[in-house]
Amino acid sequence: MDLSQATTLGRTDLRVGRLGLGAGYGAPAAAFEMAFERGCNYFYWTSRKSGMRDAIRQIVSQGQRDRLVVALQSYARSGFLMEYSLAKALKSLGLDYADVFVLGWHNKAPSPRLIDRALAMQKKGMLRHLGMSGHNRPVFTRMSAIETFDVFHVRYNAAHRGAEMEVFPHLQGQGVVSYTATRWGHLLQARRMPPGEPPPSSRDCYRFALSHRSVDVCMCGPRNMAQMQAALTVLESSPMDAAELERMRAIGDHVHARRSFY
């Protein structure tokens, strides 16, 4: 498997590059445009000031909207506010619709009213596919069974591997976008490593996530052009072999044991 090749996002018709791009970390528009030309087309935009907004507008102005997969997320728990936030985001980006609209940070099942409002927004043409994110892994299993959602944003890295048992085997064709590949940077820090073990690179962390067959897209959050260039090197690699995966799991276990995270 070549990580430079696009894949289909779950049961959707969306063709996506394997490395996804997060907006809220400071990278300039030129960095996102460069990544897009390398095949990274899953753009996860937030309302924070970001060069991604200008990059999206530039890409669309060039007649390439159909190559973009734009994911927008709302943390609203009110249907009215959720629709308002999506409409505002679309206007800011100069878009008619979101390819994926993510109900954000749901650690219990979203309310039926919220889901119904999202589906009504879908019928209006504001979004193509509905997604969900959260940290309570069993919720994904329950939501997968009702088949309302086409995409799940799931935390997954070498230190947090619970999704391998609690989420991935229970999917009903949903696409998986993984995030926090570096575990908030902890997997990159020498002081957190086992004795004598050098820290993995960000590329190693992305490769680890993308080596699992259930992960379609692994998110990265570059702060500048240099970090974007470093992240893009994952496209020149292949999934990890057994020895590499074993090393990453050992590092992940050590990092996770040093401090408890949910």
Q: Give the model's pLDDT for residue 130.
A: 98
Q: Give the model's pLDDT for residue 50.
A: 82
Mean local confidence (pLDDT), 165-183: 97
Q: Is the model's pLDDT at 175 over the cut of 80?
A: yes
Q: Is the model's pLDDT at 45 over the cut of 90?
A: yes
Per-residue pLDDT tens over the stretch 102-140: 999 999 999 999 999 999 999 999 999 999 999 999 999
Q: Is the model's pLDDT at 7 over the cut of 70?
A: yes
Helix (H) or strand (E) holding 122: helix 112-123
Weakest mean pLDDT among 31-35, 41-45, 245-249, 256-260 = 256-260
Q: Could you give the CA distance from residue 238 to residue 249 in angstroms, rounded to a whole number?
A: 18
Q: Is the model's pLDDT at 261 over the cut of 70?
A: no
Percent of the residues in the chain that have a pLDDT greater than 90, as a whole number: 94
Q: Give the model's pLDDT for residue 259.
A: 66
Q: Is the model's pLDDT at 48 over the cut of 90?
A: no
The residues near 145 (Cβ < 8 Å, ≥ 6 apart) are 170, 172
Q: Give the model's pLDDT for residue 35.
A: 98
Residue 2 banded pLDDT, cuts 50, 70, 90: confident
Q: Give the model's pLDDT for residue 84.
A: 97
Per-residue pLDDT tens over the stretch 192-229: 999 999 999 999 999 999 999 999 999 999 999 999 99
Q: Give the model's pLDDT for residue 24.
A: 82
Go through the domains of the chain in sequence order and give each one's CATH number: 7-257 (3.20.20.100)
133: β partners: 153
Is the CB of residue 140 less than 8 Å from the CB of residue 110? no
Q: Is the model's pLDDT at 260 over the cut of 80?
A: no
Q: Is the model's pLDDT at 1 over the cut of 80?
A: no
Q: Which candidate, 44, 43, 55, 40, places its Cα nearest to that of 6? A: 40
Q: Which candidate, 131, 173, 172, places its Cα nearest to that of 154? A: 131
Q: Give the model's pLDDT for residue 258.
A: 82
Q: Give the model's pLDDT for residue 81.
A: 97
- pTM of the full structure: 0.96
Q: Give the model's pLDDT for residue 262.
A: 44
- What the block records as the tokens of 110 is 């979203």
Q: Is the model's pLDDT at 77 over the cut of 60?
A: yes
